[in-house]
Amino acid sequence: MTEETDSHNPLVSNRRSDSNLVVSLHPLVLLTISDHITRHQVRGYSGSIVGALLGQQKGREITLEHAFNCSIQKDQQNQAILDTPWFEHRLQQYKDVHKLPALDIAGWFTLCPESGPTSAFLPIHKQFLAQNESSLLLAFHPSAISSSTPSSSNGKLPLTIYETIYEGEPTKQDDSMQIDGEDTSGLRFRSIPYTIETDETEMIAVDYVAKGGGNAVAVASADAEAPASPEANEREDRNGKRRADESPEARKSFDDITVTNILNPEEDDQISSLTTRLNSVRMLQSRLSLLSTYINSLPPINVSDPESETALDPAHLSHLRNIKALITRLSLLSPHSDTPASTLSTTSVPGPAVPAQPQIDPLTHAQQAQTNDVNLSSLLALLGQDVQGLSELGRKFAIVEAARQSKGKKIGGVGGGAMGMGMGFPGFGGGGGGGGAGDDSLMT
């Protein structure tokens, strides 16, 4: 495909974006995409690389904060589509985890040529549009990585973010370039600008990846090094620099050696976790040394005379206040050391001597405190469930009691009416019980 054809992609709109969308891309999305592509290539998987993007949308501002890979299947037309039951189940799991703030589908990502999306993207894109009508497409360009040089990349990421627009009638050129009779119905993709937004926790992960992942090792294949040719061996013999261990027996014994100290996945994960923590501690140490250097570089402060020559520049006051607030917060977060039990006097208490309790180090104390907090949270959750059950029981009891009282009132009203009718029969001349009295008055 020539460059002229690439520049006239029928699915890419050449109109300038007028939606004023502000897209903020988080590094965690880039790390997830990179990890998914790497695993897909290393494990030799076939098929499309497709994933969902989670974020927030507030008006015209869209944030892309998380991502996860999706399961793909083929439909009757042999087109790649989402596995809908699997996708909905995984999406609900992510929504249950990310509730504050609540995240929802913001788009999807896939590998894409630099010319733009193709008609093969439309079935999956329409499925995401059913979830969110303003879904974005993050197109990752692997060809830009393989063909770019440090001078030509200009620090740009090999990706493009597209928004979905609907144009009017398709042009003749669009009709002539439709593939397999795909009806786009005016659906077009338009590239929009984006910014990289990160927080402190993501900076640690980005710094960890930038330094090589800590435990990244280049593993060479067994047949990477070919045996030396006879001409090379003869050349070494003539120069008199042949190694003493290059005999066939030595080479054979060396080839028979197998590597047995390969780590299993669990040990590899533990090493990765420890390496990540080590990088975090190193970053913290560098920040602390920077603060220490900054404080030592300040001149002596003259508190009594603020207008003297040794008075501190007001520009440093805000930084010093932040450092003071950080120190105060650390003193509140650090665990308090327990008083050694051996220092307690046992002679004042009558009776047998109580053996001294072993001293608990701060780390064990913090672990016990965390365990107690978790157990307390579990007990509070059970207590809340019991209170809710008692409240539901009281509500149902009130309903049953009200129904019972209403039924008793109805039975009492029916019995009172029957008694009044019996008292009125003898009289025949009055209503109710007054009939008997009228009959007696006639007989007298």
Question: What span, in angstroms and rounded, lies between the C-alpha atoms of 285 and 38?
Answer: 32
Task: Provide the whole-model pTM.
Answer: 0.47
Report d(CA 171, CA 8) in Å as an integer: 12
**Residue 124: in which H helix or E strand, if any?**
helix 122-131
Q: β-strand 61-69 against 72-74: which pairing, if any?
A: unpaired
- For the cut 70, the answer to whether the pLDDT of residue 176 exceeds it is no
Greatest alpha-carbon pair distance for the chain in Å reads 164
Strand partners, 165: 188
Domain-wise residue ranges, the chain: 9-198
Distance CA 354, CA 348 (A): 11
Quote the mean pLDDT of the chain: 74
Mean local confidence (pLDDT), 135-139: 93
Tokens of residue 314, six digits: 């007001």
Find the mean pLDDT for residues 238-257. 50
Q: Does CATH number 3.40.140.10 belong to domain 9-198? A: yes
Q: Do the bridges between strand 22-25 and strand 194-196 make them parallel or antiparallel, or are there none, so unpaired?
A: parallel
38-81 pLDDT, tens digit per residue, is 888 888 888 889 999 999 998 889 999 999 999 888 888 888 89
pLDDT tens-digit readout, 271-324: 888 888 898 899 989 988 998 898 888 877 655 555 655 566 778 888 888 888
Question: Residues 416-439: pLDDT tens digits?
Answer: 555 545 444 444 444 444 444 444
The residues facing 139 across adjacent strands are: 110, 160
Name the burial class of residue 52, with classes exposed (0-12), middle (13-18) and buried (19+) by CB atoms within 10 angstroms of its CB: buried
pLDDT at 53: 94
State the DSSP string of 345-413.
--SSS-SSPPPPPPPPPHHHHHHHHHHHHHHHHHHHHHHHHHHHHHHHHHHHHHHHHHHHHHHHHHHHH
Res 310: pLDDT = 59
Please return the burial class of 126, using the count of CB atoms within 10 Å of its CB with bins 0-12, 13-18 and 19+. middle
